[in-house]
Amino acid sequence: MAKRDDGSEASGKKRRKGLSRRDFIKGTGAAMSAGVLVSGELLNASAQGGPAGSGKIAGPGAVPIALQINGNRQDLSVEPRTTLLDALRDTLDLTGAKKVCDRSTCGACTVIMDGKAIYACTMLAIEAQGRDILTIEGIAEPGELHPLSAAFVDHDAQQCGFCTPGFVMAAKAFLDRTPNPTEAQVKRALGGNLCRCGTYMGVRKAVVDAATRMTPRRGSGQALRLPRGASGQEGGRA
């Protein structure tokens, strides 16, 4: 075999530069294996809501979970992919939170979790275990209206009413932190909730009015009693 001037042997074949097909296949296989391991780790949660890596795989079928909703423990079985919103509506028949956009843009599914307003369509039910969840059905006793709900009625802050439960829950979480807000603060706080009927002015006035009503009795959680024969279920079914 002939030698080149630099002393290295020259072959009849030209050396290939860059990534070979063999290297590419090896790299792709390693990446796919890593993806499978990560996906498996995400499903590695226990029925009690244990963290990934707890040693028990959840799913793909229905698994038992426990949720703390409106002060009560609720035992149910759902697939790991089930959102908190779907679990509330389809499994527990708590239909106050509405399924509208299903992509965290409208706020109709707002509930309160650990004192903070969240979109129920953005959280998996299995992830909500161990958290304190409050829905609109739980803010007042049966046969009573929460001051916020009553203020919405008095200020004509709803038309179709489909977005109203989300607004009420977002407003409650806000008023719990800011008991004496201005209308400008209310407008900013409710920026994550949409009303397709355009009742924003009535909503803001209702929240400011409700803050006044709630301030003297905020600690007692007193609600307003409905007239005899009126329905006391907040939210309604839709």
- Across the strands, what pairs with 117? 112
pLDDT exceeds 50 at position 185: yes
Q: Which residue has the higher pLDDT, 157 or 228?
A: 157
- Alpha-carbon dihedral sign for residues 16, 18, 19, 21: negative
3-state SS class at 20: coil
**Does CATH place domain 139-225 in 1.10.150.120?**
yes
Q: Tell me if 45 sits within 8 A of 58, measured CB to CB.
A: yes
* pLDDT recorded at residue 229: 47
pLDDT band at 184 (very low <50, low <70, confident <90, very high): very high
Q: Tell me if 100 sits within 8 A of 108, measured CB to CB.
A: yes
Residues of each domain in the chain carrying CATH 1.10.150.120: 139-225
pLDDT exceeds 60 at position 223: no
Q: Tell me if 40 sits within 8 A of 57, measured CB to CB.
A: yes
How many CA atoms lie within 13 Å of 81's alpha carbon, on the beta-carbon side?
Answer: 3
Helix runs in 70-163, H state only: 84-86, 147-154
Residues of each domain in the chain carrying CATH 3.10.20.30: 63-137
* pLDDT recorded at residue 2: 52
Does pTM top 0.75 for this prediction? no
User: Of 70-74, 106-110, 220-224, which gets the smallest average pLDDT?
Assistant: 220-224
Q: Tell me if 96 sits within 8 A of 136, measured CB to CB.
A: yes
Report which of 66, 173, 40, 185 is spatially closest to residue 114, judged by C-alpha positions.
173
* pLDDT recorded at residue 46: 41
pLDDT tens for each residue of 98-157: 999 999 999 999 999 999 999 999 999 999 999 999 999 999 999 999 999 999 999 999
Q: Which CATH superfamily is domain 63-137 in?
A: Beta-grasp domain (3.10.20.30)
Quote the CA–CA distance of 179 and 165 in Å, as a whole number: 20
| Ramachandran angles phi, psi of 209, nearest 5° | -65, -45
* pLDDT recorded at residue 217: 52
* pLDDT recorded at residue 84: 98
